Structure 1
């Protein structure tokens, strides 16, 4: 059946056919596909630097958050010839993945029902990382308030090591801290992250867990150092999340982290984030600024 809402438009010189614009993707709020495309258009100047050069993994939900969801790592069939791609070796297999490096590619992917964009901690070569991720994942009975306590402790340790980090929400219950690095062997970044997790557990033994066993996590925050594995990806700054409401992985200022007393203080939806970007630009701009990249200690 023809789609009466379909429209053909030109974006930065690329021709795009946008479909099912009235499809509601988040039934709880009525957030439709047209709103999805509008959001990614508004935040494109902020999100694209965090995606550029990295092979993207798409979480696609063509029917919305209450429908089927699936991961798409390979370049989807029918992708335009102008989409940038990168061949990536996963274990024994090499696959071609999309690199979202411009607005037309961002909107093309969103039109496919890609709500979430995830990228690794490297560009081009999985053996060399250019950033460190500290993933703070609260267990049952804990939440973002507890993550903020751990984030502030992590910031102190990182600062003592000569490293600067930028905080963001995951768009779910946790926090991410990102440290821009000079190109560093992946194994060294992973080892530093694991040691940092151990140091946080020693500093906050009643609050921090650095082991993956789920029975250890209730009431505590798991410092997931494994996110620095070359095979892992992390949700990008400014990506929407496939949750009941259109929440966003949102860059924060440190006073927001220090002042968090209730979880809802750090929940941001698409409209709020678009306004934050309009008012303040990219609060995570330092993460993609080569001048901010530093070497790991030691």
Structure 2
């Protein structure tokens, strides 16, 4: 029998709570839902007013994975959606996640949460810039941290403030709060900076996606600044072997990273980190350090 729960006055059917989603750690769906309820305050702040895309993995990371921008079949009538610009579909809409009840409904589908760099009421006007630092073996997140430090200094020279989070996979994300800026302009700036990084650190960085160029280097992926692209949201779980989190990290942690395991965080780590540090990506929400591109 499917358990029914009420969240903020809304009826939600929570299914298969004992199902093991992450066999490597024995983590169940019930534990995943508990995790999202625990980090809801921080996660909802980063999802606020943004169209949300889902990477669904209902049978765990070893099962079928599929990415969806459209509201999933069976979406309740009380789930809010927002119009989004798509060249192929003028009437396209995506789910928004403004509250705990919507978050728990979505989490019950077993998803990663992904968002664009712009808000729903200002499509294609980015209020953040992102760099996805992706290591090519044998490089690891240790090398990503070296590149992140270079990028941080370069961004500071342009009056911009960078904040870091793990990707929840192998790499690192850098996020920069911006005054709302056309996504095309942000994309041009980010590409230029990735090219500068490659010129300054040719043995460590590539700005091109070709896999043949990436062994032992860090790919500085600037492409997620395009208006149509999305990035894994802070605090989302990832569909990996273990229940890893895209976790905000301090610059002290980035600077002291000496091995790949130093920046791996699982769902059980996050409550204590939030209690101790608060939301390390808070400035992205408040925009109190939003910068202007030169």
- Common topology (TM > 0.5): yes
SS at match of 1:178: strand
- Which residue does the alignment assign to 1:92? 88
- Which residue does the alignment assign to 1:277? 274
- Greater mean alpha carbon deviation, residues 272-281 or residues 182-191: 272-281
Report whether the alignment pairs 1:221 with 2:202: no
The match for 1:289 among 268, 283, 286 is 286
In 2, distance between residues paired with 1:35 and 1:170?
Answer: 21
In 2, distance between residues paired with 1:206 and 1:257?
Answer: 20
SS at match of 2:21: strand
- Which residue does the alignment assign to 2:44? 48
1:75-122 Cα shifts (integer Å, max 9, x gaps):
1122122211012232221422101121111110111122x1011111
Q: Return the offset for 1:151.
A: 0.2
In 1, distance between residues paired with 2:110 and 2:254?
Answer: 32
SS at match of 2:252: helix
The match for 1:199 among 196, 200, 219 is 196
- Which residue does the alignment assign to 2:232? 235
What is the aligned residue count? 292
Report whether the alignment pairs 1:12 with 2:19: no
Q: Which runs of 5+ in 1 are unaligned?
A: none
SS at match of 1:142: coil
- Which residue does the alignment assign to 2:207? 210
In 1, distance between residues paired with 2:257 and 2:80?
Answer: 40
**1:52-71 to 2 correspondences below 5 Å:** 52-71=48-67
- Which residue does the alignment assign to 1:25? 21
The match for 1:245 among 225, 236, 242 is 242
Q: Which runs of 5+ in 2 are unaligned?
A: none
**1:72-83 to 2 correspondences below 5 Å:** 72-83=68-79
- Which residue does the alignment assign to 2:108? 111
Q: Return the offset for 1:59.
A: 1.0
Poorly superposed stretches of 4+, deviation over 6 Å? none
> When the two structures are superposed, what TM-score results if normalisation uses the length of structure 1?
0.95
Q: Return the offset for 1:283.
A: 1.1
Report whether the alignment pairs 1:121 with 2:120: no
Q: Return the offset for 1:167.
A: 0.3
Report whether the alignment pairs 1:34 with 2:3: no
Report whether the alignment pairs 1:150 with 2:147: yes
Q: Return the offset for 1:296.
A: 1.0
Aligned-pair RMSD on alpha carbons?
Answer: 1.1
